């Protein structure tokens, strides 16, 4: 069994902490204005960009667990931001569609979310380092192969 190098552990710890703190900041900023959490934005944006989607496709696109997405979608349907439409070729399946309210919510969330992202990252790290960070994180943004 290979043990990670000390620098690997340090990078891992800082990566997780940075992601957690940035996520908390964005969620708190949205919440302070009575807006839903960033996860809602991610779902709304994915469907707005790519059209109606089956939950399994949305799950893959967002790299989230099925049970978490299911609960999230239930809340978003209840809030009137999404609707479920039965699939014509699969009696057990459905696709998720944005409502007018869902489009409006995504549009309302973006300026606040964008400002929170800028405060959490853009204003704290110079452009050259943001470019390097994006390059360094690119291979980590893909699933780990077995």
Note whether 97 and 82 are within 8 A (CB). yes
Reported as half-sphere exposure (CB side, CA atoms, 13 A), residue 53 has a value of 19
Write down the number of H helices and E strands in the chain: 6, 2
Give DSSP secondary structure letters for 30-65. Answer: HHHTTPPPHHHHHHHHHHHHH-SB-HHHHHHHHT--
Note whether 33 and 26 are within 8 A (CB). no
| pLDDT tens-digit series, residues 17-28 | 999 999 999 999
| pLDDT tens-digit series, residues 82-109 | 999 998 887 788 999 999 999 999 999 9
| Position 63 confidence tier, pLDDT thresholds 50, 70, 90 | confident
Burial of 142 (0-12, 13-18, 19+ CB in 10 A): exposed
Average pLDDT over residues 3-16: 95
Using the predicted structure, report yes or no on whether residue 9 has a pLDDT greater than 90: yes
pLDDT for residue 144: 84
Note whether 62 and 69 are within 8 A (CB). yes
| Position 34 confidence tier, pLDDT thresholds 50, 70, 90 | very high
Q: Does domain 36-119 have CATH number 1.10.10.10?
A: yes
Task: Give the residue with greater pLDDT, 82 vs 142.
Answer: 82
| pTM of full prediction above 0.85 | yes
Note whether 15 and 58 are within 8 A (CB). no
- Please tell me the distance from the alpha carbon of residue 97 to that of residue 29, in angstroms, as a whole number: 27
Q: What percent of the chain has pLDDT over 90?
A: 87
pLDDT for residue 94: 93
| Position 146 confidence tier, pLDDT thresholds 50, 70, 90 | low
pLDDT for residue 90: 78
The domain locations on the chain are 36-119
């Amino acid at each position: 069994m290979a043990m990670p190098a000390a620098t690997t552990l340090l990078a891992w710890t800082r990566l997780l902490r940075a992601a957690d703190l940035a996520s908390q900041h964005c969620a708190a900023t949205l919440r302070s204005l009575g807006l839903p959490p960033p996860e809602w934005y991610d779902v709304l944006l994915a469907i707005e960009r790519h059209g109606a989607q089956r939950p399994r496709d949305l799950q893959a696109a967002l790299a989230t667990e099925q049970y978490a997405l299911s609960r999230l979608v239930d809340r978003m349907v209840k809030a009137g931001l999404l609707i479920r439409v039965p699939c014509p070729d699969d009696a057990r399946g459905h696709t998720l569609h944005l409502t007018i309210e869902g489009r409006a919510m995504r549009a309302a969330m973006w300026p606040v979310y964008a400002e929170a992202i800028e405060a959490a990252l853009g204003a704290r790290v110079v452009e050259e380092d943001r470019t390097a960070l994006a390059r360094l994180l690119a291979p980590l943004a893909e699933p780990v192969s077995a």
